[in-house]
Structure 1
């Protein structure tokens, strides 16, 4: 399988590294893929790196002919330049806050493409020259855990995507973690809970690890103790519910119960953090946890 990644920022680089390493893990190699991104029948390339201007656009457009899947990891403001030349290819867009309707319009499916090539193609189609070229575009969200093969990626395909298109997008992203297909309106919730949620959870772990007075425990040991608490909590939550787990730990009148009463005073603030991330995604991609990763 040939995969082109357009965008060499943090997300593009993370996808490249994660995909190469993921296929090596799945193929039993045990080590990361070569710098060129090839592993057996799989090849992953970041397109347009160290190029500029018209030359970069031409190279990106060529990705539509070369690749089985094109992963677009650029900022929303760059989409009008990138998408028109990719029409007909299977495109997975990670642009935060940009809907499938907006993506298909930018690609030129409704005569709204930009650039001379896209305009000529649309004129030809309207004049009855050539065949209909479908917009095979999938709106996606993933998270920074692609770097270690533990991401949660969610996909919202446009109406013209086939069952095979969706399966191919799932196959690609399953190499860097779990994948689910969702309703488009659910992407913002997944972003707040999972993508931004990683940062929230890590921040809470860091705060806990630094909570005790100096000399109580070493910094390394404190970190390991907190990691154990979260890892054990995750495993128990997978097979049980939160309240029953808490009841098992918190003896009546004990130190855990006292601590939980104090935590309850900030429950609303913690929920506000998640709700704020969700509303930021709903009201605009620039404020959503994802735009700055491209």
Structure 2
């Protein structure tokens, strides 16, 4: 099938990733197949070291598969892609630049028109609740605010696909809940396709349309759970909804069974 025939935002087909360490050969991922529809929010969960972050690197072109193929927006991924946004666990802001200038760093690197970049920055600052903190330096911002700046920076060029690698893992529980609510709202406003890697099953269920479960190394797809929750999700009511409880149970069962199969082998 040619790349132009694919209508998926992200397509990973029969992908394996192998690499050599000083002591042995390691298979990080084995025969992984998954796809993401345009505008869909997919969460990826699994044990530490199972290759979740590797999947994001494949989608962005930062890593090439040992077997299989990866497509983004219908095109074969053959190198680093400039049309994605990437948010990491740490905000990685430049301490000598204000919040606004940290966001605009993306524009400078991409040589975006200055006026367009300023207008887009103002729009994102308002969207993420950073109004009033535009001129604050990173050390003057809370962890949650720093991640909002990082999110703005990743969204500045309107990427069709946003990759998020455990973006709220370092935040305290309350701030993490608040960021979950904000991210869900921002995703609905922007319509961007999102791939989120997380260790939190509850976070995955609250945020996503579908949750993809990855087994312990060598990582492969253990299963997928469709999230049967309304588009508008009040955090408190969602956490107590029977659909939420059922989804988290099924994910734990999938991962538990997959882990038992790996141990049994």
TM-score of the two chains, using structure 1 as the length reference: 0.29
Highest RCO, 1 vs 2 (Cα 8 Å, sep ≥ 6): 2
Instruction: Identify, as 1 or 2, the structure richer in strand.
Output: 2
TM-score of the two chains, using structure 2 as the length reference: 0.31
Based on CA coordinates, which of the two structures has the bigger radius of gyration?
A: 1
